[in-house]
Structure formats: structure tokens, C-alpha cells
Structure 1
Amino acid sequence: MDTARRGGTIEILVVKPLRRRRCSACRQGPVPFHVLEAGRPLCLPCADLGHLVFLPRGDTALTRRARAAAPVSAVVIRLNRRRNRWERQGLFVDADALALAERQCLADAAARAARRARDARRREAEDVRVTDVLTAEVLRLFPSCPPARAAAIAAHAAVRGSGRVGRTAAGRALDEGAVTAAVRASVRHGDTAYDALLASGVPRWEARQRIAVEVDGVLAAWRAPKTV
């Protein structure tokens, strides 16, 4: 049976298949979930996991508590072809453990809601700070950039969880190259025909070559000292 190590424990892996699969033991199918044993799919009953219930991902506290209370649990994974990686979909746990976890979560729901609200306010304040600092740096490097545009570039680059420049280590350190990359990307998409070229089937590298002079011209104009 396929397993993975999580910290100091071994986790059973249950696959949510992309294609229709049959159990190699009982021949029933298609099965919505299976485990792999010696490379062959087994349905959950044949893998002695049929007594477990599925808990979808999404509620971190419920998942953590159910896992802690369950004598046995199994992690459900599914292949994301676009990203070429396995992603967690939820957990199979004992029904009694899930019921206990639900009661525990219900008992402290108000306290957890208050904590989430505090965390949200803290994140919002941090997002505003990051955006303001990044806006100031854009205007320092490109003093003739319209202030509203600089703010829009910073806000776009600093979206939490986006992986964009404002959330990278270089962006947080206000690295000149990283900030310039964010401004260049904004000009490319907002001031040229780049997106239209891509939509018409032009390869990305060729589209960038076609609009490079135009982008450089806008950047040069924005780098010029601001006139009163």
C-alpha cells in the first residue's frame, strides 16, 4: 500500500483517479477512490479502509482534530496535470473521530472566528503597508509614472499568494530589478498589443520581441525626472 512520511508518522495514500479504474481484487468499478498495492489499484473495502468516511479539504481545524482522534486515517490525493503535481483533496477518517472533531470545533467556534477576524485585519494592514512601500519605490525609480498607475502596479504585484514580484523575497527587499520587472510587465500588458498578439497565436517570445521597443520607450519616459 502506498504511503508517505509526514513528520514522524507514515500516512496511507488514497488516490482520487482522473480516469475510470477497476479494483484489481474484486473487479468492481469504476471506483471513486483507490489505493495502490504493488502498483495495482484496490478499492477501499478491499484495502480494509471501507469503514472510513471522507472529509474534504477546507476546514483546517476539523481536519487536524479528526486526524489526531482517528486510530487510522488516509490522505486523499489527486494529480493536477496542469501543474504536474499531486494535490491533497481531503482525508479518510474514522466516523467516531470525525464526530468528536466536529463537537470540538463547535465548542470553540466563536473563539476561532474571533481569531480569524484578528488575523484577517492583521493581513489586511500588512497588505496595505506592502503596497504603499512598493508604490513609493515605483515612483522613486520612475518619477514620471502617473501616481495612480504606480499604485495599481504595486497593488497587482503585492497580491497575497499570487507569487508575483511584490511577494517574492526580492520584491519585499525592494530590489530594483524586481520592481522594474513589475513595472515592465504592467506596461507590456497595459500599454501595448502584447495580449492581442498572444491571442492571435503569436509565440510569447516573438510577441515580446515585437513590443520591446514600445515598452522601453514608456519606461524611458517614466524614468525621466518629473516636471512641475
Structure 2
Amino acid sequence: MSRKNKVPLADRVVRSAEASLAARHFASAIDILVGIGWLDPGAAERWRRGQVDCLEEAIPTDPARVSEAMRLFRSWATAQGLLANPTEYVARTPRRQPLRFSRSGDPALEESYRTHWVSPELSEKKRERLAEKVSRAPELVVVQPLKADWTCHRCGGTGDLLMMETPGPACLRCAGLDDLEFLPAGEALLTRRAKARSTRYAVVVRFSKTRRRYERQGLLVEPQAAADAARPTPAPGGG
């Protein structure tokens, strides 16, 4: 595409924002950056897993252009009468540390990045439920590696499962998840019951070479939760 025929940045931002608003009743900075093609979804996922220090490091675009896009987004959201809703972003790691967006860490800039703009057409109750949902800590993800010859960057050990961290893979013992029990996928009811009873859990995934994506293999839950979930449900009125 020639420079003459390029779509103006303002139009690209608005299109992305409108698409997100129509689909989820809110729009976020990440929605815009992914929508205009400046942020790869895979890079965003690595950031959520704590493997990237800050989101801006995953955006291969001139910082001035990123700032311009965010300014255009805020201007559009304000003009549309959307409601600003600051949202918590925490890493998909056992420590659940707050995620950082900017290289500088400036509080005002961080707040700008994590503010979601919500449709005023939603009732107050629905806005509260939406805020609770998007602020919920993401599920922990554990990887079932394709190769067995990996090494924990903390202790030098290995294992059947690992958790990716910024320096490299970590074994479940070092990640603090080695006490959990594996429930393989296939029994949806048992998995749901165990997940509901477990205060700590993690999703187990494995990369599919044919589909070129990570696919769910099962769940890690607390042993007591797995045992409770496996018990038969008493019949109504039973002794």
C-alpha cells in the first residue's frame, strides 16, 4: 500500500475501538494496540505471563506514535461519552504481581494504559459485574513440554510440567505448585467441581505442532479438592 492510500491512524484507532465496544461493551488500550496491528497477541500473552518487563517493550513502534494512538483513543472515548474504569492487571504467575505497561512506570501513564472505557448504556449493576470480571486475576498456565530435556532456571532440575518465567522455565517445585494434583481433560463435570473447591489451580497446556497453538490438557488442583469432587453427590432426600 502506498503512503497516499494508507488509512489515517485516527481512523484505525476508531475502527478498533468501535469493534471492541460492540463485542464486549468496553474498549481498552490493549484492544487498540492489537487492533491496529502494533501489538502481537502472542507478545501480549507473554507480557501477561510476566515474561516481558513492560508492555511497551513488546510494541515495535515508535513511542511517539504509540502516545499519539493512545491520545486519539482517549479523545474518541470521551467524545462518545464512555465511562472511564481503571482496571487492575496482574501477571499470570503464582505471585500475581501487578503488570507494568510503560518503560518509565509513571503512575499517570500507567493509569491511562489500564483504564477501560465502558459503554454508558450498561446499567450500573452490569458495569460492576463487568469491572469485576475484567479485573479478575487470570488463570495460571502450566506447560507440558514437547521435549524432556529442559532445565529449571532456578534449581537446575526438570520435570513433566513447567511454568514459563522471564529468565526461563521453572519446575513446579520452584514455582510453588508441586503440591497440586493433575486432573486430565475429558471429565468436564469433575473438573468444574474440583476447580470450584480448589483455592489454587492452574491450567495445563501443550503445544500442538499440527494446529500450531497451545491446547488444554487438564487442570492442576489441590488434592483435597480433587478428592471432594470425586465423591458421589448424595441423592435428594438421602440419608
TM-score range, shorter chain: 0.3 to 0.5
TM-score, with structure 1 as normaliser: 0.43
Q: Based on CA coordinates, which of the two structures has the bigger radius of gyration?
A: 1
More helix by share: 1
Q: Choose between structure 1 and 2 for higher RCO, CA contacts under 8 A separated by at least 6 residues.
A: 2
